[in-house]
Structure 1
Amino acid sequence: MPTTDVTVVREVLSFLLKHGIASDAGIAVAFSGGCDSLALLAALKAASPGRPLLALYVNHQLRDEKELERELQLNQENCRKLSVDLQVLDLGKQRVAELAAQRGGGIEDAARTLRYEALAAACRTAGFRYLATAHHADDQLETLLMHLFHASSITSMQGIHAIRNLDAQVCLIRPMLALEHAKLEEYLSGLGLVWSEDSTNGEHTFLRNAIRHTLVPQIRTLFPEPYQAVQRMSDRFSDVGALLDELVDAAMGMVMFADEGLSFPLETYQALHPSVAQLFLYRLAQHFQKEKRVSFGFVDRLLSTLGKSCSASRWVIESTGMVVSLAQSKVEWKRMDRIWNFCLPLECPEAAQTLDVGNGVVFSIQQENPAVDPTLLRIDASMLDKPVLRSATDSDTIALESGVVSIRKLLAQYKIDRARVAAVPVLADRSGVVAVFARSFGGRDRLAKRFKAPLARRLTNIYSSNKRNDCSEIEKR
């Protein structure tokens, strides 16, 4: 029976031969100094002693400086023992946090994006065609579990790809997907190499670590060969994924691209199989969301709405900076990079009236009527001094009974997309903001404390805002 060191090196060598990677082709290794990346570096060195290798260490500026200093010293020592050059790539302070805020995602996602950008750039500079990462069988299992319980697409069940192009110059390879983490630890122990431990690895605050330390041990208890089963399932889904990708490629032929967006005919779309249709819509969403993760919820709503539509249907769906509409059997998909602003003076705030402020938003003033929804705002029009109806500004605040609150912060609490904030009507006069009308956008209408009427009050007017529904369906997120 082969020893662990033979098994690891043989698996890595087998991967290189299978994918036609020449023995003199340079490989850069994404090197954290942890067990997995150190094992990969050592195995590549043993599998092809004469191959050009480069270890790339990325400092995300997210951990304690003293811990990072100790880790870097150990990494330098291990690279010296393996006779491999080490290059440090510093992302700079706050870059990860800034990208996470910009994209509206998590720190892990932002760190991954910046890490791969830095690694690919270093490969191009060094003239290395291949970038190797140390993903292993445990990573594959954890990834598939996350995709399964996130109800991700069929193609995502392929799991981690063994090889793919990052761009025209750099190819990403993962030679250890068939190897368990435990075998890599045995391999390094046999070589007498000591690896570094990231202090966040033992925390359960991140989803992958929680799965690794709680769910996977239970699976291994119930199923004796989970890694082999996962690999077989991944291979099968890869075959299905390749077929679906070909069908989606063919479906893209119906799309007409223009500067302002894209369009496609409803009838041609509805002829697609539902699985192809979902991936087709996901690909179109990716076209607009290059810097953000596509919401599966948005794609699923769009899939359902298109499936129920007919030639007479008219609707608009908006989500995360995108607007999709159907009219005259034509689906149009556009980006909402900017929203209009409006400012309308209310010459007669006590008179019943309806104002179209644009982009489907309608504001109305009604006479007091007990039969009208009691949750709508009642305002004594005689108290208003030169009122205007306008978009919110960054400096706007409203004095509520709980205290003075920023309007931007208030709307953010209601999870109203920042791109839609300017569409929310604000009633203001010389005294400041009187009311904010966020109800039709998924929030609440709020009235300033000073306009709260006493129990004995004169008749008031009812002020409200709505999205104009001249379509069969309007969805907001």
Structure 2
Amino acid sequence: MRGEAVDRLELRMRRILLALGIKPETPLALAFSGGLDSVVLLNLLVRCGLRNIRAVHVCHNIRPADELAREKVLIKETCMKMHVNLTIVNVKEGAIDQYASKARCGIEAAARHFRYRALVRSAQRFGIRTVATAHHADDQVETFLLGMVRGGSLRALSGIEPVRMLSASQGIYIIRPLLSFERVELFQYAMRKGIVWSEDSTNADTAFMRNKIRHVLIPLLNAEFPSWKTSVLSYVEQIREEHEFVERSAQKILHRLLAQVEGEELLDIELLKKERRLMRLAVIKLYLARLGGGIAASREAVEELDQAISSNKKRIEAGGFEFDLAEGFLKFCGKTRGSSAQAVRAISPLLDSYEKDQYFLMVPAAGTYRCGPYIIQISEYEHGSTLHDTPPATANSLVCAFFPFILRNRRAGDTVLGPAGQKAVDTYLKEIKIAARLRHAVPVIEDKDGIAAVIPSAFGNAASARPLLRDPALCQNKKMKYILLSMKGDSTINVRSKR
């Protein structure tokens, strides 16, 4: 600030922001817990001249209500004092426990899942392309130790990335400007500046793996091996550089191995066999990610596929999904019958943006919503009313669906139960001549009973094609919404619903 000596941490932060291309006017969303790390980061950003910050606080509702209430008061007062916009996202009580049980993960992982989706949604809502989190050097060390304890891929030891894509479809990046700062430096800065912060009571609970590492393992290492953190951070950087090299090389190989077969992008198995195992595994993982739709790309699934390819098998089940290898190409065939693999997506009380899906929106009721490249307008009509302004030709576009429903892009393996039985969405998209490279972006409406409609009207020569709809007979005697699908302009879907 003018008239004050510039703190050394502020000088470091200015250099970091300059290197990241962050200017004073850059819109920035800050993950703001109210704890020491995020409050110090907010202060540093403001004192470095950033004037377009939106703090985003995600209340997970897994701590005592009185503690959460005090924390919210502090957060609001801090943002008001610093003239920073604030968004508070409340996760429905019990939703994190429910997700953790369903996804078979810990509470920490489930909370992180909700937190990052909320950050993407908030950034998207306010037209922000950069999200900042307050991860610091001590977090980096803890993440490395977590990876060592849990096991898994070498990628898990590459630590927290300083910059990475958070949502490819929205062009939203995440930055971690505090990664070179140790927690003790942040604490000392807070003391110098008289900064007040909130303490999360769960941070002391050693039932959580990260807390056990923080409060049990790290103090022991500090006592016995004073310079161990420097060594770990050096290893993290080396591992990340090698991982990035492998991934760049695998991307080039994947591009060379992809082949167009009957409008589908398939992986040439014979060419893949000529690569070293390390590159084969990296290429298969990238290919699975390219397919989208939540296809499992765990190390175990990738290794199973590689083994099947090397053994000349004709068909393989991996990660709860089936793959065909019979014609010299790796082809995704859908979910394994009776598989216990987690469902690709479920309607959530919070999530309306999902990274792998390109776009994903929960529609709870009538209103206007923005999702990916589309604007959805939803109106409700009383049961039995007539839409007088609807052209007769649109009568075939009525589809029944439960609220809440979701709008998302098409995924591999999608099917619709029509009057003539199940129909693969990919088959339908081929019939109406939508190019394979565009099919992943075709809008789909899905409710708790499955896919209700596939909407091709956003795609040029398919604009006049009739939507692929669920069998209307399935809607009889059920309290569903009846939705009329039409298109205005190149990026607007108008949806009317009728009780």
Under a length normalisation based on structure 1, what TM-score does the superposition of the two structures give?
A: 0.62
SS of match in other structure, 1:22: coil
CA-CA distance at 1:278 after TM superposition? 1.8
SS of match in other structure, 1:166: strand
Matching residue of 1:248: 250
Matching residue of 1:163: 163
* Distance across 2 between alignment mates of 1:218 and 1:332: 50
- Number of residue pairs matched by the alignment: 332
**Greater displacement, 150-159 / 240-249:** 150-159
Matching residue of 2:457: none
2:212 corresponds, among 210, 213, 222, to: 210
Task: Provide Cα deviations, 1:164-217, integer angstroms capped at 9, x if missing partner.
Answer: 232334221110001111221121122222211111111122221121122222
- When residues 258 and 199 of structure 1 are mapped into structure 2, their CA distance, relative to the original with a 3 A threshold, is farther
Conserved? CA contact 1:45–1:51, under 8 Å: yes
- When residues 241 and 321 of structure 1 are mapped into structure 2, their CA distance, relative to the original with a 3 A threshold, is same
Aligned residues with identical type, % of pairs: 30
Paired residue type of 1:21: I
Q: How does 1:175-190 map to 2 (within 5 A)?
A: 175-190=177-192
Matching residue of 1:46: 47
Conserved? CA contact 2:296–2:319, under 8 Å: no
Conserved? CA contact 2:288–2:295, under 8 Å: no
Matching residue of 2:74: 74
Paired residue type of 2:192: G
* Distance across 2 between alignment mates of 1:24 and 1:225: 40
Matching residue of 2:482: none
Unpaired stretches in structure 1, ≥5 consecutive residues: 341-477
Matching residue of 1:457: none
Task: Provide Cα deviations, 1:340-360, integer angstroms capped at 9, x if missing partner.
Answer: 9xxxxxxxxxxxxxxxxxxxx
* Distance across 2 between alignment mates of 1:258 and 1:107: 43
Matching residue of 2:317: 318
Matching residue of 1:274: 277
Matching residue of 2:238: 236
* Distance across 2 between alignment mates of 1:246 and 1:191: 44
Conserved? CA contact 2:120–2:172, under 8 Å: yes
Matching residue of 2:221: 219
Matching residue of 1:146: 146
CA-CA distance at 1:338 after TM superposition? 5.2
Matching residue of 2:301: 298
SS of match in other structure, 1:194: coil
* Distance across 2 between alignment mates of 1:260 and 1:64: 55
* Distance across 2 between alignment mates of 1:261 and 1:211: 47
* Distance across 2 between alignment mates of 1:293 and 1:75: 38
2:174 corresponds, among 165, 172, 175, to: 172
Conserved? CA contact 2:259–2:268, under 8 Å: no
* Distance across 1 between alignment mates of 2:262 and 2:199: 49
**Greater displacement, 27-36 / 181-190:** 181-190
Conserved? CA contact 2:315–2:326, under 8 Å: no
SS of match in other structure, 2:87: strand
Conserved? CA contact 2:32–2:55, under 8 Å: yes
CA-CA distance at 1:161 after TM superposition? 1.0
SS of match in other structure, 2:254: helix
Conserved? CA contact 1:78–1:193, under 8 Å: no
* Distance across 1 between alignment mates of 2:260 and 2:140: 37
SS of match in other structure, 1:16: helix
Q: How does 1:367-406 map to 2 (within 5 A)?
A: none
Matching residue of 1:36: 37
CA-CA distance at 1:88 after TM superposition? 0.9
| RMSD across aligned positions (CA) | 3.0
CA-CA distance at 1:26 after TM superposition? 2.3
Paired residue type of 2:212: A
Rg larger in structure: 1
Paired residue type of 2:281: Q
* Distance across 2 between alignment mates of 1:145 and 1:128: 33
Conserved? CA contact 2:308–2:316, under 8 Å: no
- When residues 5 and 226 of structure 1 are mapped into structure 2, their CA distance, relative to the original with a 3 A threshold, is farther
CA-CA distance at 1:149 after TM superposition? 3.9
Matching residue of 1:443: none
SS of match in other structure, 2:46: helix
- When residues 304 and 91 of structure 1 are mapped into structure 2, their CA distance, relative to the original with a 3 A threshold, is same
Matching residue of 2:428: none
Matching residue of 2:83: 83
